[in-house]
């Protein structure tokens, strides 16, 4: 049964706004009525090539996009009966980090290079106490070291013990060595695991992980994602994972939404989407995954590239790259090249494509 923790409804974001409202150029809309929901404890992936609008969508949930250029021009972001798209900044600040946390691509840039890991993790408790307005008691760590951290308002009597416990869960056998280290003394994979602990410390309901393993060696990517999945499951935290990697999606996600040129073109349970991809773009992404020992000379790719947001059309934005359209009948090609938005076909697993409607009408399969 669905129990949505986050509901994104018809979210459209445009860039190019100016402070005074005056602009020589018209703002460019980069996402177009994006809708999806994430259930409590669910691992939800948003996948697509660079420039599809994944990060813009995820960053607009907490309104982290550059101001005043970026603006939500339509839609809502419902979280705990609040619309984050319209919430006053002071109220939104109480949600950021405490209720919805983020993990970014570059852990080295997410952490302060001149402050120890211990101090940075303890600061999470301080931040949560100040953002929720609850004053906590000064507490001491297990080793007697006095900490100026205060309870995050979520019944944490001993912050340092909690941190140590979570570092152990994140695969650090010697938490004290990590706590005493500065960021430059740890590897990229270790730093990203520290960032996962940092994100989970306030017990958020949702974590937004924007390409959290892209900057890491392939060998540690799986380790970091396994830690994220395991720790999110233990705490019942939902995860919104932004990635361009279908292999990662198939291994870790429960449900997936595929984005292309600012729109969601397919969405459903991961197994359904992987085993039976409906949209030609999803089929292309899956075909492009290299298989073990495959001949790289015959590796498949999708011809062309994602258009710039300035060149987005009203109709199907994938038409220039779509082999189904190119090889289809004249009627289908005309539809694909029209100004109509492709229709949504399906329910819990759906895709937006004229060929699917055409196949339904004519009893064919694409
Ligand atoms: S609507 Fe047409 S062009 Fe677009 S993905 Fe479907 S078949 Fe291809």
Instruction: Please write the tens of the pLDDT for every residue from 174-200.
Output: 999 999 999 999 999 999 999 999 999
pLDDT at 150: 36
Confidence of residue 156 (pLDDT cuts 50, 70, 90): low
Q: What percent of the chain has pLDDT over 70?
A: 88
> What pLDDT, in 10s, does the model give residues 60-93?
999 999 989 999 999 999 999 999 999 999 999 9
Name the closest-CA residue to atom 6, ligand 1. Answer: 353
What is each CA distance from 95 to 17, 46, 115, 229, 318, in whole angstroms?
A: 25, 22, 25, 22, 36
Give the percent of the chain with pLDDT over 90: 73
| Cβ–Cβ < 8 Å for 101, 232 | no
CA distances from 210 to 37, 58, 80, 242, 264 (A): 17, 8, 22, 5, 17
Q: Is the CB of 322 under 6 A from ligand 1?
A: yes
Q: Residue 263, Cβ neighbours under 10 Å: how many?
A: 22
Rounded distance from Cα 96 to ligand 1 centre (Å): 38
- The Å distance, Cα 322 to ligand 1 centre, comes to 6
Q: Where are the domains of the chain?
A: 107-204, 276-302+312-362
Q: Verify cis geometry, omega within 30 degrees of 0, for the bond prior to 68.
A: yes
Ligand 1 atom with the shortest distance to the CA of 335: 2
- pLDDT reading at 25 higher than 80: no
CB 280 less than 6 A from any atom of ligand 1: yes
Closest CA to 50 of 307, 315, 232, 270: 307
Neighbours of 73 (CB within 10 A): 13
User: What pLDDT does 357 receive?
Assistant: 80
Banded pLDDT at 361 (limits 50, 70, 90): confident
Which ligand 1 atom is at minimum distance from the Cα of 280?
A: 5
Q: What is the pTM of this model?
A: 0.89
pLDDT of residue 133: 57
Which residue of 266, 324, 337, 361 sits with most ligand 1 atoms within 8 Å of its CB, as the best mutation to test the pocket? 324
- Give the closest residue to 206 by CA, choosing from 345, 69, 100: 100
Give the confidence band of 18 by pLDDT, cuts at 50, 70, 90: confident
């Amino acid at each position: 049964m669905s129990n949505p923790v986050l509901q994104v409804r018809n979210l459209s974001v445009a860039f190019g706004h100016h402070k005074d409202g005056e602009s020589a150029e018209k703002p460019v809309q980069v996402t177009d009525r994006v809708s999806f929901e994430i259930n409590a404890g669910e691992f939800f992936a948003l996948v697509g090539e660079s420039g599809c609008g994944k990060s813009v969508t995820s960053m607009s949930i907490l309104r982290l996009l550059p101001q005043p250029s970026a603006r939500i021009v339509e839609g809502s972001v419902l979280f705990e009966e609040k619309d984050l798209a319209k919430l006053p900044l002071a109220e939104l600040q109480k949600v950021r980090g405490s209720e919805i946390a983020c993990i970014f691509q570059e852990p080295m840039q997410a952490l302060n290079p001149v402050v120890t890991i211990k101090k940075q993790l303890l600061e999470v408790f301080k931040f949560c106490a100040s953002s929720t307005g609850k004053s906590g008691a000064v507490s001491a760590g297990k080793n007697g070291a006095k900490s100026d951290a205060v309870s995050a308002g979520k019944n944490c009597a001993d912050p340092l013990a909690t941190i140590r416990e979570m570092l152990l869960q994140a695969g650090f056998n010697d938490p004290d060595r990590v706590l005493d280290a500065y960021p430059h003394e740890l590897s990229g994979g270790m730093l990203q695991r520290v960032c996962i602990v940092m994100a989970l410390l306030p017990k958020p309901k949702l974590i937004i992980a924007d390409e959290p393993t892209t900057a890491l060696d392939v060998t540690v990517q799986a380790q970091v994602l396994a830690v994220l999945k395991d720790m999110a499951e233990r705490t019942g935290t939902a995860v919104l994972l932004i990635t361009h990697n279908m292999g990662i999606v198939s291994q870790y996600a429960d449900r997936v939404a595929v984005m292309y040129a600012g729109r969601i073109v397919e969405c459903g349970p991961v197994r359904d989407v992987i085993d039976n991809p409906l949209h030609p773009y999803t089929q292309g992404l899956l075909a492009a995954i290299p298989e073990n020992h495959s001949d790289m000379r015959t590796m498949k790719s999708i011809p062309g590239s994602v258009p710039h947001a300035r060149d987005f059309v009203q109709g199907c934005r994938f038409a220039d790259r779509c082999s189904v359209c190119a090889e289809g009948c004249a009627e289908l090609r005309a539809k694909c090249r029209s100004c109509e938005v492709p229709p949504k076909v399906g329910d819990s697993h759906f895709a937006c494509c004229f060929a699917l409607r055409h196949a339904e009408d004519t009893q064919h399969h694409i």
